Amino acid sequence: MKELNPLQPQVAPCACSQEAEPAAQDTPAPRAPLSTRNKFVLGAALLVVWGLVYWQLKPFSQWLAFSVFGLEPESHLGEAVQFFIYDTPKVLMLLILVVFGVGILRSYFSPEAARRILSGKRKGFGHVLAALLGVATPFCSCSAVPLFIGFVTASVPLGVTFSFLIAAPMVNEVALVLLWGLLGWKVALFYMGAGLLTAIVAGFIIGRLKMEKHMQDWVRHIRENGTQEHAEDKTWSDRIDYALGTVKEIVGKVWLYVVIGIGVGAAIHGYVPEGFLASIMGKDAWWSVPAAVVLGVPMYSNAAGVVPVLSALLEKGAALGTALAFMMSVIGLSLPEMVILRKVLKLKLLAVFVGVLACGILVVGFVFNLTLAH
């Protein structure tokens, strides 16, 4: 019998093959992706939940601020807190929904196709269409920003997006009805025409300045590197995944600015010094209109919310054109809106937007004072 050499390592039978298979069986299998049908069902359920939550935001904010926190409904602090609790989720929910919808649309068009369709052969058509769309959407300035961001990232011409951004908060049916009831149909129609004209002209001027390079880099990257694949190569499941990725990218970059902007607006919302404002606007001096525009910038409200303030200012002796210029400044040049837009626009483009729109509002104020003074 052959003797074993004690110095030679003994090799035991390998058990790797027997052990490897059970180990592989213990590893959890990756989850299968949701089918298109399941994504539709889940999306529909989430949309229903979204609608129910959105519908209850205002009563919830009132209950939390006034019942739970014990704040007085008519106090400055109570109004500010309730406003913040209501507006923050409202704007964020709108942002998510709008960006998702625009993401679905973007999956059908390349940036070049979107730019070609929305620019139109007639230079002014896109601006008019965007301004009319703004009239049809009863948003305040911060609520209009989500659609603005969606349009910008979908390669809609820059000037056209600004026409929408100006018209959406400035002119809406609720404000027009209130103006009609308070000041008559002539003032309401004149205001509507002035608001539309301001939005169209301001957007046209900004578009002609060719300032696309002054958008933030992440916005330009999305515009330049949007949907590259052919539309027919995408399934509905692909489009949903693409839209969700768009929501994650865009909302992830701007949500903090949205919260900060609304916080600034809420802090100011409950402290509108009507007596002081009326004393400035009632003075028959050339600088009263510019002063009203400057005073309106820190304020924050939608058109329907500022109309009662406008009525109070007129009762205290403010000039009509000056008070309307103040109203347009509040809803078109609000500081919270500027804070949010700063994440999308570089400082130079933001300054041009403010300057062009402020000039348009000044013209409207002076024209009102000259033609509709009472």
Average pLDDT over residues 362-368: 88
Burial, 72: exposed, middle or buried (Cβ in 10 Å; 0-12, 13-18, 19+)?
Answer: exposed
Q: Are 176 and 192 in contact (CB under 8 A)?
A: yes
Q: Does this model's pTM top 0.85?
A: no
- 148/142: higher pLDDT: 148
Q: Are 104 and 240 in contact (CB under 8 A)?
A: yes
Residue 224 has pLDDT above 80, yes or no: no
Report pLDDT for 63. 95
Report pLDDT for 32. 61
- 93/175: higher pLDDT: 93
- 64/35: higher pLDDT: 64
Average pLDDT over residues 225-254: 71
Beta strands in 74-149 (DSSP E): none
Confidence of residue 20 (pLDDT cuts 50, 70, 90): very low
The mean of the pLDDT values for the chain is: 75
What digits encode the pLDDT tens for the residues 241-254?
A: 878 887 887 677 76
Confidence of residue 15 (pLDDT cuts 50, 70, 90): very low
Question: How far apart, in whole angstroms, are the C-alpha atoms of residue 219 and residue 223?
Answer: 6
- 134/1: higher pLDDT: 134
Average pLDDT over residues 257-280: 66
Q: Are 329 and 363 in contact (CB under 8 A)?
A: no
Report pLDDT for 347. 92
The CA-atom distances, in angstroms, between 217 and each of 39, 214, 222 are 32, 8, 9
Residue type present at position 52: L
| Residue burial 318-342, b: 16+ Cβ < 10 Å; e: rest | bbbbbbbbbbbbbbbbbbbbbbbbb
- Pick the most confident of 90-99, 275-284, 300-309: 90-99
Report pLDDT for 159. 87
Report pLDDT for 31. 61
- Pick the most confident of 67-71, 143-147, 190-194: 67-71
- Pick the most confident of 31-35, 82-86, 128-132: 82-86
What digits encode the pLDDT tens for the residues 165-181?
A: 888 777 766 567 667 76
Q: How many CA atoms lie within 13 A of 167 on its CB side?
A: 30
Q: How many domains does the chain have?
A: 1
The DSSP symbol for 28 reads P
What digits encode the pLDDT tens for the residues 44-61?
A: 888 899 989 989 999 999
In a domain? residue 17: no
Confidence of residue 80 (pLDDT cuts 50, 70, 90): confident
Residue 1 has pLDDT above 50, yes or no: no
Report pLDDT for 194. 87
Angle at 306 between CA 300 and CA 311, to 5 degrees: 145
Residue 325 has pLDDT above 80, yes or no: yes
Report pLDDT for 126. 80
In a domain? residue 304: yes
Average pLDDT over residues 297-311: 67
In a domain? residue 18: no
Residue 28 has pLDDT above 70, yes or no: no
In a domain? residue 321: yes
Report pLDDT for 160. 87
In a domain? residue 36: no
In a domain? residue 25: no
Residue 117 has pLDDT above 50, yes or no: yes
Residue 9 has pLDDT above 50, yes or no: no
Q: What residues make up the domain containing 285?
A: 69-371
Q: Are 128 and 119 in contact (CB under 8 A)?
A: no
In a domain? residue 5: no
Range name among 151-155, 171-175, 359-363 with the lowest pLDDT average: 171-175
Report pLDDT for 101. 80
Average pLDDT over residues 206-219: 86
Residue 78 has pLDDT above 70, yes or no: yes
Structure tokens at 193: 């025409």
- 349/26: higher pLDDT: 349
